[in-house]
């Protein structure tokens, strides 16, 4: 079987969010790039199909500065509520985004803490409930907590987006054990959002069983964002493939290929 | 506990003696720490840190890109009026200065807003002299309502207000407050503020905090570099920013680093803050408070602003006029001070792009 035949034979492994079947499990952000042209190339190179951007930063009046004009065609827009400090503000931003033609996907970010940018889970649940009832596809960004994730499922979230580490920190999966619990216990896709700084960390999240990862700072602030986007694309694919392949169990002791007690079997022969 | 009482715990600290006790290892340790305390910050401000500016700059650049990306926010000041009842020794709007004072009518303001809006800027800083009778809060509110049609974010730099008054302005669409203490040293503050309500050191000092309480999304503070001892003023500015950032976690705290500029009058700065000191303060601030906004205005030369762009700055003013009606061609009004960098918004954007950064004209929108 050659490569092509193998991939054709491999069952489709799409990520389903709401009614969308996504081939790519890498979501990307649009902030912090040195210019919109580089951002455009990086998104293209990432092969991501879902692109998030802060509604507050979109300048609808300016052709040149409007970030929407630089998002590759065919991508699903995921406006986020960055800047919202309460559920009410997040809801207002979501509705403006929809009215402005950004579709009905929304990433909830309710952040009151400007020092560490940690989300307010309580307000996030409230906003998710209101917007889900209003027909939005709601992807809430949250501090990993099982009870909160369960509530988000109950109130109608389309996926749950726990942070791996504080936004922009590039510290990787600092919350790994909590994310592992969410992956095991929550039926919705778990998308690791924030903190991933290197492709290897994205691969780690995917090997763990995350449905997808969202990356912005690590790509936008790399020396070569376009190349870094490509690296993340490959890492996410590799991590996912490894997860599907089912890695062998980790053990605290060596499993010798010539077992110490092998002579017992030999004796019985 | 307000900032004044918090800062009193440092009254016992002899800053000059402490600075002299800082050695190279203290500086190196501070540069390499993840979370710096106040004394680490002071170590980075010290003369011993002079020879470590390059290492500080590298760290500052990394931290700034990590937290803010390769972006520089742009805004411009809009002067509503130059009437003032204070006698600040260092300011052209000093009530003793004889010149024809101006105040924008709403019609004038519309012209001014239209002219700025054409440049693409969405963020403005509205300024007045300190005259409650000529520019009462009610007048400022009317102006803000008009300006909201043109801009997505409006900050104010006006006389200090009570919490309720700040709230009134927040309610009509103001989202940012800039208020400089001018000088943290109380004795010097008394000496340079000769007459007028601005003499009240404590009312001014607590204004930033009142803005936070009133719901301002961003609060920007600063000391006017040159009025007091550089080290001490830089130290207390950092302490103040940290105090606000820690107590009001939902507020974006920013720091400006204005140096005294030529103006109408004969006041001579007590000290001259060199380019190196300005840069050192900016780098030390970035390492101490990685998420604080840092603003460098057109008081500085184009050459210096270009050079420090990658070192920690997050905001710059552009297309600046410091006179009432200056954006829509009023040539008769007086400047509050002379600016150094006279580049247009377009020229600033070009420079920022040339440096591989992105000028951000719209970073915030108050959705109501």
Task: Name which of B362, B363, B364, B368 to mutate to probe chain A: the one with the most chain A Cβ atoms within 10 A of its Cβ.
Answer: B362
Which residues of chain A lie closer than 8 angstroms to B361, CB-CB? Answer: 59, 62, 65
Active-site entry in A12, A107, A198, A223: A107
Q: What is the pLDDT of residue B321?
A: 80
Residue A191 and residue A212: Cα distance in Å, rounded? 5
- DSSP characters over B134-171: TS-HHHHHHHHHHHTTT-SEEEEE-S---HHHHHHHHH
Average pLDDT, stretch A162-171?
89
Over residues B199-243, the pLDDT tens digits come to 999 999 999 999 999 999 999 999 999 999 999 999 999 999 999
pTM of the model: 0.87
Cβ pair A85:B250 closer than 8 A: yes
Contact A176, A184 (CB under 8 A): no
- CA distance, residue B326 to nearest chain A CA (Å): 24
Give the pLDDT band of residue B262 (cuts 50, 70, 90): low
Over residues B321-346, the pLDDT tens digits come to 878 888 877 766 777 667 778 889 99
- CA distance, residue A138 to nearest chain B CA (Å): 19
Give the pLDDT band of residue B163 (cuts 50, 70, 90): very high
Q: What is the pLDDT of residue B263?
A: 64
Residue B204 and residue B209: Cα distance in Å, rounded? 10
| Domain-located, residue B31 | no
Residues of A contacting chain B (CB within 8 angstroms): 31-36, 55-59, 62, 64-65, 83, 85, 89, 92-93, 96, 112-115, 168-170, 217, 220-221
The set of residues, in sequence order, having a beta carbon less than 8 Å from that of A257 and lying 6+ positions away, is: none
Which residues of chain A lie closer than 8 angstroms to B65, CB-CB? Answer: 32, 221
Which residues of chain A lie closer than 8 angstroms to B363, CB-CB? Answer: 56-57
Give the pLDDT band of residue A263 (cuts 50, 70, 90): confident
- CA distance, residue B200 to nearest chain A CA (Å): 30
Q: Which three-class secondary structure state does DSSP give residue B31?
A: helix
Which residues of chain A lie closer than 8 angstroms to B69, CB-CB? Answer: 31-33, 217, 220-221
Residue B345 and residue B361: Cα distance in Å, rounded? 10
Q: What is the pLDDT of residue B167?
A: 97
Over residues B40-88, the pLDDT tens digits come to 999 999 999 999 999 999 999 999 999 999 999 999 999 999 888 888 8
| Domain-located, residue B51 | no
Q: What is the mean pLDDT of chain B?
A: 91
| Domain-located, residue A12 | no
Q: What is the pLDDT of residue B136?
A: 96
Strand bridging mode A20-22 / A15-17? antiparallel
Can you read off the two tokens belonging to residue A49?
């199909």
CB atoms within 10 A of CB B365: 21
Name the residue range of residue B284's domain.
60-360
Question: Is A107 among the catalytic positions?
Answer: yes
Q: Looking at the predicted structure, is the pLDDT value of residue B319 above 80?
A: yes
Can you read off the two tokens belonging to residue B122?
């969405």
Q: What is the pLDDT of residue B184?
A: 96
Q: What is the pLDDT of residue A80?
A: 94
Residue A195 annotated as lining a ligand binding site: yes
Which residues of chain B lie closer than 8 angstroms to A85, CB-CB? Answer: 250
* Residue linked to tokens 């010798």: A256
Q: Looking at the predicted structure, is the pLDDT value of residue B267 above 80?
A: no
Q: Looking at the predicted structure, is the pLDDT value of residue A91 above 90?
A: yes
- CA distance, residue A242 to nearest chain B CA (Å): 30
Q: Looking at the predicted structure, is the pLDDT value of residue B266 above 90?
A: no
| Domain-located, residue B78 | yes
Q: What is the pLDDT of residue B283?
A: 97
Q: Looking at the predicted structure, is the pLDDT value of residue A266 above 70?
A: no
Q: What is the pLDDT of residue B331?
A: 67
Of A33, A59, A89, the CB nearest to B358: A33
Q: What is the pLDDT of residue A237?
A: 94
Residue A202 and residue A164: Cα distance in Å, rounded? 10
Average pLDDT, stretch B189-194?
91
Q: Looking at the predicted structure, is the pLDDT value of residue A267 above 80?
A: no
Over residues B279-296, the pLDDT tens digits come to 999 999 999 999 999 999
Residue B239 and residue B233: Cα distance in Å, rounded? 10
Can you read off the two tokens belonging to residue B302?
């184009």
Over residues A192-221, the pLDDT tens digits come to 999 999 999 999 999 999 999 999 999 999
For residue B170, the domain's CATH number is: 3.20.20.70
Q: What is the pLDDT of residue A158?
A: 96
Q: What is the pLDDT of residue A62?
A: 79
Over residues B78-119, the pLDDT tens digits come to 999 988 888 888 777 777 787 788 899 999 999 999 999 999
Over residues A232-247, the pLDDT tens digits come to 999 999 999 999 888 7
As a residue count, chain B comes to 368
Residue A231 and residue A26: Cα distance in Å, rounded? 11
- Which one is predicted more confidently, B274 or A168? B274
Of B66, B246, B363, the CB nearest to A170: B66
| Domain-located, residue B40 | no
- CA distance, residue A86 to nearest chain B CA (Å): 11
Of A36, A96, A112, the CB nearest to B249: A112
- DSSP characters over B58-95: HHHHHHHHHHH-SEEEEEEEEEEE-----EETT-TT-T
Percent of chain A with pLDDT over 90: 67
Name the residue range of residue A96's domain.
21-245
| Domain total in chain A | 1
Q: Which residues of A108-145 are buried (b: 16+ CB within 10 A; e: fewer)?
A: bbbbbebbebbbbbebbbbbbbbbbeeebbbbbbbbbb
| Domain-located, residue A3 | no
Average pLDDT, stretch B118-130?
93
Among B82, B74, B160, which Cα is nearest to B127's?
A: B82
- Provide the Cα torsion A221, A227, A228, A234; round to 10°: 160
Closest residue in chain A to residue B61, using alpha carbons only: A221
Which residues of chain A lie closer than 8 angstroms to B68, CB-CB? Answer: 32
Contact B130, B86 (CB under 8 A): yes
| Domain-located, residue A82 | yes
Q: What is the pLDDT of residue A268?
A: 52
- CA distance, residue A196 to nearest chain B CA (Å): 12
Average pLDDT, stretch A257-266?
71
Residue A174 and residue B210: Cα distance in Å, rounded? 37
Closest residue in chain B to residue A116, using alpha carbons only: B291
| Domain-located, residue A254 | no
- What CA–CA distances, in Å, run from A198 to A110, A118, A177, A190, A217? 25, 20, 19, 19, 10
Cβ pair B357:A34 closer than 8 A: yes
Over residues A2-58, the pLDDT tens digits come to 556 555 555 678 999 998 899 999 999 998 998 999 999 999 999 999 999 988 888
| Domain total in chain B | 1
Closest residue in chain B to residue A119, using alpha carbons only: B250
- What CA–CA distances, in Å, run from B181 to B75, B222, B255, B313? 21, 6, 11, 20
Average pLDDT, stretch B262-272?
73
Residue B276 and residue B45: Cα distance in Å, rounded? 11
- Of the candidate ranges A10-19, A24-33, A176-185, B17-26, the one whose mean pLDDT is the lowest: A10-19
Task: Name which of A37, A63, A83 to mutate to probe chain B: the one with the most chain B Cβ atoms within 10 A of its Cβ.
Answer: A83
For residue A121, the domain's CATH number is: 3.20.20.70
Cβ pair A32:B122 closer than 8 A: no
| Domain-located, residue B323 | yes
Cβ pair A33:B367 closer than 8 A: no
Can you read off the two tokens belonging to residue A12?
């489709």
Residue B309 and residue A17: Cα distance in Å, rounded? 41
Instruction: Say which DSSP state B336 is in.
Output: S
Cβ pair A169:B291 closer than 8 A: no
Q: What is the pLDDT of residue A3?
A: 56
- DSSP characters over B299-319: TS-HHHHHHHGGGT--EEE-S
Residue B295 and residue B257: Cα distance in Å, rounded? 7
Q: What is the pLDDT of residue A61?
A: 80
Residue A121 annotated as lining a ligand binding site: no
């Amino acid at each position: 079987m050659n490569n092509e035949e193998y991939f054709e034979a491999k069952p489709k492994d799409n990520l389903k969010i709401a009614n969308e079947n996504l081939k790519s499990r890498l979501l990307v952000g649009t902030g912090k790039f040195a210019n919109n042209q580089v951002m455009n190339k990086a998104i293209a190179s990432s092969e991501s199909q879902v692109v998030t951007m802060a509604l507050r930063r979109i300048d609808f009046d300016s052709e040149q500065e409007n970030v929407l004009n630089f998002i590759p065609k065919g991508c699903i827009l995921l406006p986020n509520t960055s800047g919202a400090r309460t559920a009410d503000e997040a809801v207002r931003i979501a509705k403006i985004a929809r009215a402005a033609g950004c579709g009905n996907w929304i990433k909830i970010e309710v952040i009151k803490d400007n020092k560490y940018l940690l989300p307010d889970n309580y307000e996030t649940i409230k906003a998710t409930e209101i917007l889900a009832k209003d027909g939005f596809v709601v992807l809430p960004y949250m501090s990993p907590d099982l009870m909160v994730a369960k509530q988000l499922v109950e109130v109608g979230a389309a996926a749950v987006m726990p942070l791996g580490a504080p936004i922009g920190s590039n510290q990787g999966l600092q919350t790994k054990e909590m994310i592992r619990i969410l992956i095991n216990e929550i039926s919705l896709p778990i998308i690791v959002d924030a903190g991933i700084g290197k492709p290897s960390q994205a691969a780690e999240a995917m090997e763990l069983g995350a449905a997808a990862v969202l990356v912005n700072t690590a790509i936008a602030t790399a020396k070569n964002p376009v190349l870094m986007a490509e690296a993340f694309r490959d890492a996410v694919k590799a991590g996912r493939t490894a997860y599907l392949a089912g890695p062998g169990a980790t053990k605290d002791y060596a499993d010798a290929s010539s077992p110490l007690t092998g002579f017992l079997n030999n004796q019985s022969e | 506990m307000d900032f004044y009482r918090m800062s009193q715990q440092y009254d016992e600290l002899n800053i000059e003696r402490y600075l002299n006790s800082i050695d190279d290892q203290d500086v190196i340790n501070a540069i390499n720490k993840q979370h710096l305390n106040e004394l680490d910050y002071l170590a980075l401000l010290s003369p011993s840190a002079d020879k470590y500016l390059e290492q500080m700059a590298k760290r500052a650049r990394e931290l700034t890109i990590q937290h803010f990306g390769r972006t520089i926010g742009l805004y411009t000041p809009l002067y509503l009026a130059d009437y003032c009842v204070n006698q600040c020794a260092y300011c052209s709007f000093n009530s003793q200065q004889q010149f024809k004072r101006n105040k924008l009518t709403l019609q004038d303001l519309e012209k001014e807003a239209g002219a700025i809006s054409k440049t693409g800027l969405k963020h403005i800083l509205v300024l007045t002299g300190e005259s409650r009778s000529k520019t009462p809060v009610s007048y400022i509110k009317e102006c803000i309502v008009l300006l909201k049609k043109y801009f997505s974010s409006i900050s104010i730099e006006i006389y200090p207000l009570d919490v309720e008054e700040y709230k009134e302005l927040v309610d009509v669409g103001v989202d940012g407050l800039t208020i400089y203490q001018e000088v943290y040293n109380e004795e010097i503050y008394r000496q340079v503020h000769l007459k007028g309500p601005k003499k009240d050191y404590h009312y001014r000092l607590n204004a930033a905090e009142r803005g936070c309480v009133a719901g301002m999304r961003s609060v920007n503070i600063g000391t006017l570099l040159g009025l007091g001892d550089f080290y001490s003023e830089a130290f207390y500015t950092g302490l103040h920013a940290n105090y606000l950032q820690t107590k009001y976690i939902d507020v974006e705290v920013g720091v400006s680093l204005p140096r005294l500029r030529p103006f109408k009058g004969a006041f001579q700065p007590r000290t001259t803050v060199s380019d190196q000191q300005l840069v050192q303060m900016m780098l030390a601030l970035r390492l101490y408070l990685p998420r604080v906004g840092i603003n460098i205005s057109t008081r500085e030369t184009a050459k210096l602003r270009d050079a420090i762009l990658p070192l920690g700055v997050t905001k710059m003013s552009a297309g600046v006029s410091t006179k009432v009606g200056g954006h829509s061609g009023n040539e008769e009004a007086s400047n509050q001070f002379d600016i150094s960098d006279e580049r247009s918004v377009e020229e600033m954007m070009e420079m920022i792009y040339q440096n591989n950064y992105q000028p951000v004209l719209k970073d915030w929108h108050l959705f109501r």
